Each structure stands twice: as C-alpha cells, then as structure tokens.
C-alpha cells in the first residue's frame, strides 16, 4: 500500500491555504490526541504533517520533493521523531486535560525561534484553544504528572469480603509497565474509586507524579442486590405460607442462614429487615448495612385434584368481600 503524503494525512488538497491546513489539523487533533482516547501513532503522523505544512519554508521543500516523485513520510526532516517520547496525561474523570504536553519535543526541537514564522514548528497553532488552556504548561516550568485511571472487575462475593489483587499498568510517557498490589476493601461498591498517590504519570522538570485512580466494577449477584451497604433480596413463599403463616430459613450474604417468621395473612411484597446483615460499610468502618427481604407470593399454575377440591371448598365458604371498596374508590 502506497504511503500517504502529508496532504493526504491531513485530508486537504495540495493548494490548501494555511487556514484550511490549520482547520484540518485542529479537527484531527481533537479526534486522535491520546488524552481524548485517540491513537498515539495516528496523532504523531498528523502532528508531523502539520509541523511541516504549517511552516512555509518546510512546505516549499516538501512540495519540491513531491514534484519530483518522492512521497516522504515519517523520514522527512530527519528521523521523524522515532525513538522519542512525549508525555500526556489521562483526562478520565479527573479533568487533568492536556497538562504537560511538550509539542516542541515531538519532532526533535523543530519548534522555536528558528522557525520562519517565529511561532515554533507548529506554525503558531494554539493547542490551548482545544485542550483548555494548558498546552503551554511545559514552558511555564515544573508540572505535576497527570492522574492515570484503570478499572478492576470483581465478583459480588469478592466485593463483600474484600481482596488483594496485583495489577499491571502502563505509563503513557515512557511505555514502561508497573505493578501494584491493590487492596479492595470489604464492602466495595460498583463504581467505587481507590486512589494511589504518586503512582500515575511522571511529573515534568522534577515535579511529583500524578495519582493512579482505580475504579471497581462489581458483578451483580443473582440473589443479593446491592444498595450501598444495604442488601436486598426476594424470597418466594406459597399462598399457604402467606395465608397461614410460617417460619422459613433463608440464606444470608455471609453464607449462613437466618430464620424468617412469616405472620398469618402476609401480603405479597411485604419487606422484612435484618439489622447488620448487609455489606460492610466502607464509609463507616466497623459497621454493616441491613438485609432487606421481600416476599413474593407464588400462585401455583397447576393443581392436583386434591388441591383443587380443597381450594374450591374453601372458596365456597369464603365470606370476605375483597372488592367492597372498589366502586366507592372509583367515584372519588
């Protein structure tokens, strides 16, 4: 496959104006910048293309090469930045933005006073216009590294009990992998965040590292549903148990059983509360939430001959008017 020239990389015509080139690069930079979740390689390609085409002298030389049949790519103007690294911060939900990005370092110091337009290798393009006014942080001196983020998947039981788990993550600016033992507290909730200080992106010019933010993704249990530290569950009971009352054993999140006394005439949806049988409360150490048990009266779809005869006899003897207020309430 033929390699794209810089005009094709930016998606502009050969006779594109400086404004059109700048507009095209702005659009692509917003899409492909690593801080916005883009591809580093693609962002590097469009940055190199803009660095060349935004500089009148470099663009003139580049056009001459194209005129003679050459299609220079990453090798134009030196080594094309191979082997170099650049620092970006993870935006995530912490709003770190574009802090610390040194555009003058991407292509071997191309930007600076030596540029024909006096505005650096990017033709005076103001990245702060796209990324919240922080693109110049590198030039203002030391800058703290940005926060990095990742997530960990845990089961419902692991979230209740807590666990330690080793994780490996990559530092974007250097590519190095680092390992950390994460301590997930008992009672961890879905979407909960753990912050590990100075384990994020490296700072600039001796500034401290950012933090690593870990989000817990807790799988949903088939029976126990989390509501913060409280746990809710639904227990089926028969029409006989609801009518006559009963005592049944039910499981608890701790793996034990507890006895639930169902009074006579218990209605469908009745909720019973068991104090301190929920999940550990991560906000109030040493305490637990409650276990809420709602009963679901099961009406049998099929009946034996004996059951049917029994219920028909009971129905014929029933004197309760369960709809006595229906017409009255409808008139209100």
pLDDT, tens only, 169-218: 998 888 889 999 999 999 999 999 999 999 999 988 889 999 999 999 99
Give the separation between CA 253 and CA 227, rounded to whole angstroms.
13
Going from the C-alpha of 317 to that of each of 252, 310, 311, 313, the distances in angstroms are 40, 11, 10, 6
- 146 pLDDT more than 50: yes
pTM over 0.75: no
Q: What is the set of domains in the chain, with CATH numbers?
A: 1-83 (1.10.287.110), 85-107+140-220 (2.60.260.20), 225-303 (2.60.260.20)
SS (H, E, C) the chain: CCCCCHHHHHCCCCCCCHHHHHHHHHHHHHHHCHHHCCCHHHHHHHHHHHHHHCCHHHHHHHHHHHHCCCCCCCCCCCCCCCCCCCCCCCCCCCCCCCCCCCHHHCCCCCCCCCCCCCCCCCCCCCHHHCCCCCCCHHHHCCECCCCEEEEEEECHHHHHHCEEEEEEEECCCCCCEEEEEEEECCCCCCCCEEEECCCCCCCECCCCCCCEEEEEEECCCCCCEEECCEEEEEEEEEHHHHHHCEEEEEECCCCCEEEEEECCCCCCCCEEEECCCCCECCCCCCCECCEEEEEEEECCCCCCHHHHHHHHHHHHCCCCCCCCCHHHHHCC
Instruction: Give the per-residue pLDDT at 100.
Output: 36
Q: What is the mean pLDDT of residues 89-98?
A: 34
Give the separation between CA 33 and CA 106, rounded to whole angstroms.
13
245-273 tens-digit pLDDT: 999 999 999 999 999 999 999 999 999 99
Q: Can you give the length of the chain in residues? A: 332
**More reliable by pLDDT, 154 or 89:** 154
- 92 pLDDT more than 60: no
Give the separation between CA 266 and CA 149, rounded to whole angstroms.
49
Which pLDDT band holds residue 101 (cuts at 50, 70, 90)? very low
Which pLDDT band holds residue 329 (cuts at 50, 70, 90)? confident
For residues 115 and 103, the answer to whether their CB atoms sit within 8 Å is no
Q: What is the mean pLDDT of residues 81-95?
A: 33
Least confident of 16-30, 84-98, 108-122, 153-167: 84-98
Chain-wide mean pLDDT for the chain? 79
Q: What is the mean pLDDT of residues 143-162?
A: 93
């Amino acid at each position: 496959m033929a390699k794209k020239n810089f005009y094709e990389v930016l998606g502009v015509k050969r006779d594109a104006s400086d404004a059109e080139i700048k507009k095209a690069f702005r659009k692509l930079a917003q899409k492909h910048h690593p801080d916005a979740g883009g591809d580093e390689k693609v962002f590097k390609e469009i940055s190199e293309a803009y660095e060349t085409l935004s500089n009148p002298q470099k663009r003139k030389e580049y056009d001459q090469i194209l005129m003679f049949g050459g299609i220079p790519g990453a090798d134009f103007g030196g080594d094309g930045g191979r082997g170099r690294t650049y620092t970006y911060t993870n935006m995530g939900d912490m709003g770190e933005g574009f802090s610390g990005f040194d555009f003058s370092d991407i292509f071997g110091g191309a930007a600076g006073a030596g540029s024909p337009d006096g505005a650096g290798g990017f033709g005076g393009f103001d990245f702060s216009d796209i990324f919240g006014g922080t693109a110049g942080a590198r030039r203002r001196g030391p800058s703290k590294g940005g926060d990095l983020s990742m997530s960990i998947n845990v089961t419902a039981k692991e979230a209740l009990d807590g666990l330690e788990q080793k994780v490996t993550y990559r530092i974007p600016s250097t590519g190095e992998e680092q390992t950390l033992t994460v301590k997930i507290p008992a009672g961890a909730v879905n979407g909960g965040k753990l912050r590990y200080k100075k384990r994020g992106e490296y700072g600039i010019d001796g500034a401290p590292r950012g933090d690593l933010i870990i989000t817990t993704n807790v799988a949903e249990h088939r029976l126990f549903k989390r509501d913060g530290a409280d746990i809710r569950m639904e227990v089926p009971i028969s029409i006989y148990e609801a009518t006559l009352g009963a005592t049944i054993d039910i499981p608890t999140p701790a793996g034990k059983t507890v006895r639930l006394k169902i009074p006579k005439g218990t209605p469908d949806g009745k909720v019973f509360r068991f104090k301190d049988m929920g999940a550990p409360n991560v906000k109030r150490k040493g305490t637990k939430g409650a276990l809420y048990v709602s009963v679901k009266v099961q009406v049998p779809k099929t009946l034996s001959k004996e059951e049917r005869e029994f219920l028909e006899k009971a129905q014929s003897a029933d004197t309760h008017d369960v709809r006595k207020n229906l017409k009255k309430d409808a008139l209100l």
